[in-house]
Structure formats: structure tokens, C-alpha cells
Chain A
Amino acid sequence: MTRAVLSVGLAVLAFVAVGAAFFVLIGKPPLTMLGAMLRFGFGDAYSVSESLVKATPILLCALAIIVPARLGLLSVGADGQLYVGALAGTAVMLAGAAAPGWWLLPAVLVTGALGGALWGGVAGVLKARIGVNETISTLLLNFIGLLLVNHFVYGSWRDPANLGWPSTIPFPPQATVPSLLGTRVHAGLLLALAAVVGGHVWLVRSRFGVALRVLRENRKVGDMVGLNYRRNVIVTMAIGGGIAGLAGICEASAIQGRLQPGLSLGYGLTGFLVAWLAGHSFLGAAPLAVLIGGLIVAGDALQLYAKVPAASATILQGLLFATALAVSGLARRGSPPRG
């Protein structure tokens, strides 16, 4: 535990050093810039709320990657699952928009999760039945998911009132994920946090979670004691997909207010990196997602107020991941060997 805290501390220090070097390189005062980043990311209530808004889909996408990873699967499909989840939930919203019932929001959310689960499940079935590599299939399904959404919002779902702008009609109030405390932070964050805590207990303490670890460690032994690898491939891929689908429908409903192209700002890939950095732990993913959310918000703000290039946020994010991975790799080298 102390080692973990130490390595996070080291990672932050390394990132500050590398980040400062980057600012020097682009001719900005490094300390001022780093201070501004901290302020823009977490300096006041508004910055914190915006960071949490960004953190929510990243966290859900990270969880979506972690569940199959507990079985040893390398899914990169959170983005596609996010899009298909949003698509499925939006379909229910369109069908029920006229009805004023309270049930519309739960129906939209559940369908969104099911859509994502379907998309994850497709990769799971391909892997379990015919051995298609899950990394390749989820990568390709990402494109299909994204283009499916484009197909509908450019096509039959386009709201004529938008005068050519490709998007659906706005989500009616009874299908909108409620916001919290008058900010843009929405109830999806609560869902994500509940998933973090519940999922952590579930993966670490439950028979199912242990069965996943047994299968990841030694599939032969798992088979001997009656654990079904193929079924668990499908189940974990579908559960992961469901979580990503939830991210998609929350983003469409609460943040964008409609389904339109460009729903995900690379949340799937960012979530993948967060999952990796968190060592595929649900608990570890939450603070990391908030940190990355803050970094994105700060990067956007710097671009506006400090006139740094638009790519700066992405570069800083890349530097953060690279330093964090390097530090955790170094920490592993220093730890006692197994055996």
C-alpha cells in the first residue's frame, strides 16, 4: 500500500517535471502554466464540476475495459459500445418522447446499457465460438458503432427543426438524466461511483470474481473444476459493454441533450489507459479518471486563456500516461520477484 502511494507520488513528480519541460519547449513559463492547470482543473467549484463531467464517461469506459480484463481479455471496444448504447437508448427516447411517463428515463438507461452489452457481447461470442481475437474485433466494432450512429443522425433520425445540423430531437425532460446541484454534473456520476464500489466488492469477494481470476491464471485448472471459460468470455464482454453503453446514453441525454456525431471525445481510449494504469482495479480507476478529467478541462482552459496550441491538452495527457506507466513499471522492477 505504501509502495502504491509512493509510486503515485513519484508519477505526479515525474509528470510535473516532464510537463514543465513541455511548457519550456513551447515558450511558456512552466511554473505559471502548471499552476494555472491546477487552478483550471480543480481550483474552484465550477472547475471541479467540469472535471467530474469529463471524468464520468472516462470512468465508466475504464470499468468497461476492466471487467473483461479480469478474465485476461484485452478489449479496446469501450468507444463502440458507448456509441451503440447511446443509439439504443435514443431509440427508446424517440419512441416514447410523446409519452409523459416517469418510466421513460429508466427505460432509456436500461436500453442504453443493453445496447452496449450487445456490442460487447458480439465480440465475446466471436471470441468464444470461433476464436476471433477480442482486441481486433472490438477495435473494428468501434468504427461500426460510430458509423451506425452517423447513419441514423444524418438519416431518418435527423430533427428537421435543426436546419441541416445532424442530430436527433432533444431529449425531453422525462428522458433526461438529472443534473446534480445545478451543475452539469449528472446522475451518471453517481451510477459510476456505485458501480465502482459494488463492482469492486463483486470482483474481489464474489465466487464469480474469483472464478475469473482462476481462469485467467490457469485455464486448464479452471476447466478441471468446472469453470466455463467461453461462457465467461461472453458474460464479461457483455457486462463491460453494458457499462460503456451507460456512459454513452448518459452523455447523450445529460451532456449533449441529443444524439449527434462526436459523442465521445476519445473516452474509450482514455478509459482503456485509465484501466491499465489502475492495474485493472475498480477502486483505482475512480481517482485516476477524475485526475484525467481535470487534465482535459485544464487543457481546454489553457488553450482559451493562455493561448497554448490546441494539441497541448492531448500532449499533456499523453505525457501523463507515459510517465505514469514508466513509474509503475519501475516500481514493479524494484519489487521482490514472485516465486
Chain B
Amino acid sequence: MTSAAPPAVRFRAVAKSFGPVRAVDGVDLEIRRGETLALLGENGAGKSTLVKLLYGVHQPDAGAIELDGRPVVIASPAVAIARGIGMVFQRFTLVPALSVLENLLLAWPHTRWRLGRDHAPVLARLAVLAPGIDPARRVAQLSVAERQLVELVRVLNMDARCVLLDEPTAVLTPLEVERLYELIRPLASQGRAVVMITHKLADVAACADRVVVMRQGRIVDEAPAGARSDDALVRAMIGASSVVEEGTPPARIGAARLVVRGLGAGFVRDVSFEVCAGEVLGVAGVAGNGQRPLAEVLAGVVAPSAGAVHLDGRSLTRRDGAAGLDPRVAYIPEQPLDNGVAGALSATVNVALRRLRALRAFPDWRAEAATARELMRRFDVRPPEPRLPARAFSGGNLQKLVLARELSRAPDLVVACYPTMGLDVAATHAVHGHLLECASRGASVVWFSEDLDELLGCAHRIAVMRDGRIVGVLAREHASRQALGRLMAGSTGQVA
């Protein structure tokens, strides 16, 4: 590439607002061929919006986008794809009812009207990235992380010359992340332009050639990777506010509150454990090893097929036709937009949801909005505007909205599923703080996570799930990444 050639993509003073929110506020940026650009920033900093402008999901209010030096209008994702721009979303775009292979064939650029018999080229990247995924399985049966991998393979298969990755490592296990890095690095060296939205400094260190930091819709720092210390990047991301100290679990633990005996649900079998007052039990494991069914049974979303769950001696087991979750339980589901909120309804309604049945026939919505606004401030949901529909919030703020609803009710048991998935540094600290505060008030916390560092930092004990069973429980003092990795992978697998 000669220095005279225009960059693959150039944003010129691009701006985009959603109502009163200036998501992207006058951004000038070059994306160059043969380079991996890391776009760093907190949740709601405008990274995703900026990239979606390039992918044709949104249209800029002002400014221009140039491809190879020529200004273009990218009216829709179809236009973007035709111009060689591929994007992997945080929210997935696979067809759940189709198999992995069928989904990949749908997007395979060389597919003719009849699906060919030789699927090897279609599946080549899948075999590298996720050898454990059977191409014949339906996407609906895959875990979040597995879907992410398939999504990624699909876009890589399109041979896009500009690849946009929206938080690609957010939901992956360490082993999968390593494999992903192996796939991303060659993309740039093959001459593609790669943009990776992330808030993980590890991603920057592993893949990026250049790093751009966004805050409140603007670019606040831009440098070659390695030219900035981690501290400097974090400061640029979160601005003047200081980094929160990592929380530690409360020292005092009381008597057993949550007692699980012989629990079965789906392919989860014979799970028994206890969690004491003030205790945080971490649950680790590769995605799809039974975490979701276990969490749903503990929270009371579904009835178990065997066994029992008791909290303070009273059964938590869901009876058929029961009126919703037990009021003593706070449930933070994975993928809050799908499982935790009604997306088109206002934040006010979503914050009031758990109390909805207890409200008057004609609730005082103004008072509810005031309550919601207060809670949104306390849990740092941005913007703290209760009339916005839930789906208007970015991933991290939506998660904080769910936390505000669930944790503000002083629960006795907290079931949290990947509560910091896709969240930035500051939001992650805030979530840790809220969960640990619940524990220090005496609640039992069951915390599902794939971030081992998070569990090692916050949990008293860490249980590891594999193939629907708990294969080991390690006390905090005895736990390490290596020990957990061995349990997660099992005797036949590799150590993460």
C-alpha cells in the first residue's frame, strides 16, 4: 500500500443523534487497509453507533463517509455488504431455526440456487475457531458464546475487505478468545481493514495495530497500539472519574440460606450445593454446560425435573401456574434485552415490572417515573430518562437498568447470569459493587460468569459446571485460573 492511496474508510465530521442523545458527535477517523483498529470506549460512548453508520444500519445526521476516497451513501446493510463491509453484531443475526451449516450457507457468497454438496470450504473457518460445534445443530440450541462464534465465521466467510467486530470477545471463554485472536490477526495482514469495538485492554494488546478511544460520542485519544499504558487508556475511556477499586467479598458469612438438593433440569443432573448468608458462589464453565437451565431453575423461571431448592427453609421450586418469581429472589438473566425487559416499553414500566401486579388498577405513572429516575441515577443508568424505551439503552446501561429493578428490592437470593457480559470497566466495577453489597447485607449470591478473574476476585467459592454437572467446587483461597481451567475442560480437553 502506498502512502498516497486513500484509506479504506474515512469519516469526516460525522454526527448522529437519537432524540436528545448525541451518540456520535463530530467524528473524524480513518480506517486503513492492512491494519486492525481497536475502538475503545465505555458503554454508550458511541462506538457501536459509529460502526453502524458505516454498516448502513443508521444514517448520519451530518458529515460524510468516504470509501477509498469517494464519498458514499450507505443506505442499508445490503449496500454495505455489496461494498465489502462485513459486521459481527453484539445482537446476533443468525436464523435460530436453521442449522449452523444452513446459516453459513445462507451467507456463503458462492452459494448458487442449489446448495452444493461440498461444504468443506464453508466450514473450514468453523473448524478452526470452534471445532466443538457440530454444523448440523440448530442455532437455537447453541449457547450465546457458540452463536457468537458462528456469527463471526459467517462474516469471515464473506471475504469482506472491511470487517467490523462489535465486542467479539465479550462472551467468549479464554480458550475461545485465544482462538479468535488467531483468526483476527491474519485478516489485517491479508490486506483487510479490521475494526474491533472493545473495552478489553487485553484485546488491544493481542490484536490491535492502532487504538482509538471514544467518550461521549467523540474521539478523545488515538495512538499506535503499545504507545499508551493501560492506565492511560482507561483514563481516556472514563474521563475525569477515577478507577473504582476492585471489590472483595464480605468477610463474614452466616448460616446456610440456599439449599439445593439433587436438582435436575434439562440435561442438568444431580446438582446439590448450599450457599450461606452473605456468601457469593461463583459458577464457572464453558458456555452451554448447563448454566442456563440451572440458573432458570434456581430463579424459579422453570420448574425442575427433579430435586428441590429451598431458601431459608421455604421451597423456591416453581409450581406450575405460579404467579411469577418468588419475591425474595433477584434474577439477572443473560442477554437482558431478550430475557429481562420488554424492549418497546419505557424504562419506567420495566423498572416497575416486578411490582406490576401489586400496583393500583390505574397506577400513578408520574410517581413511578420519579421512582425509576431515582433508581436509574443510583445505578448510573445513562441517560437517566425513564420515558425512553428499554431497547434505546446501550447494552451496559440496559444491564444496569435490570440490576436497578432486581437489586433495589433487597433480595435474599441473587441469581446473576453473566451480569458483566459486554460491560465496560466502570460499569463492571459498578455491577460488582452492587452484587457484593447485596451479599454484605446478608443475601446469598449465585453468580454465573465466564470471566474467571471476576469470579476469583468476587466469589467465596467457585463451582465449575461441565456436561450438566457440578464437577468441582473450589474455595477462593485454593482456586486459580489453572485449576478452574482444568475442571472446565475436563480430563480430555485442553487447559485454558
Identify the A interface with B (CB < 8 A).
205-208, 210-211, 213-214, 217-218, 220-228, 336-339
Contacts and interface: CB of A to CB of B under 8 A. Distances in A.
A207 B340 contact: no
A218 B341 contact: yes
B98 interface: no
A98 B57 CA distance: 70
Given A218-B342, A338-B391, A225 B349 contact: no
Given A207-B360, A217-B343, A218-B343, A226 B325 contact: yes
Contacts of B354: 225
Contact of B356 (A214, A218, A336): A214
B324 A227 contact: yes
Interface in B332-370: 338-345, 349, 353-354, 356-357, 359-363, 365
B345 A217 contact: yes
B133 interface: no
Nearest to B323: A226
A220 B339 contact: yes
* Majority secondary structure, A binding face: helix
Contacts of B338: 218, 220
A213 B325 CA distance: 19
B343 A226 contact: no
B183 interface: no
A221 B339 contact: yes
Contacts of B356: 207, 210-211, 214, 225-227
A338 B325 CA distance: 30
Given A205-B363, A210-B345, 11 more contacts: A206-B361, A206-B363, A217-B342, A217-B345, A220-B338, A221-B339, A226-B324, A336-B18, A338-B389, A338-B391, A339-B391
Contacts, number: 78
Interface of B: 18, 57-58, 301, 322-325, 331, 338-345, 349, 353-354, 356-357, 359-363, 365, 389, 391-392
Nearest to B362: A206
B392 A227 contact: no
A210 B363 CA distance: 10
A14 to B, nearest CB: 24
Given A214-B353, A226-B325, A336-B18, A221 B57 contact: no
Nearest to B91: A339
Contacts of B340: 221
A207 B362 contact: yes
Contacts of A207: 356-357, 359-363
A239 B275 CA distance: 48
Given A217-B344, A221-B353, A226-B357, A337 B324 contact: no
A286 B331 CA distance: 43
A337 B52 CA distance: 12
14 contacts: A207-B357, A210-B345, A210-B349, A211-B357, A213-B349, A217-B344, A218-B338, A220-B339, A221-B340, A222-B342, A225-B354, A226-B323, A227-B356, A337-B57
Contacts of B362: 205-207
A230 B359 CA distance: 21
Given A210-B345, A217-B342, A337-B57, A225 B361 contact: no
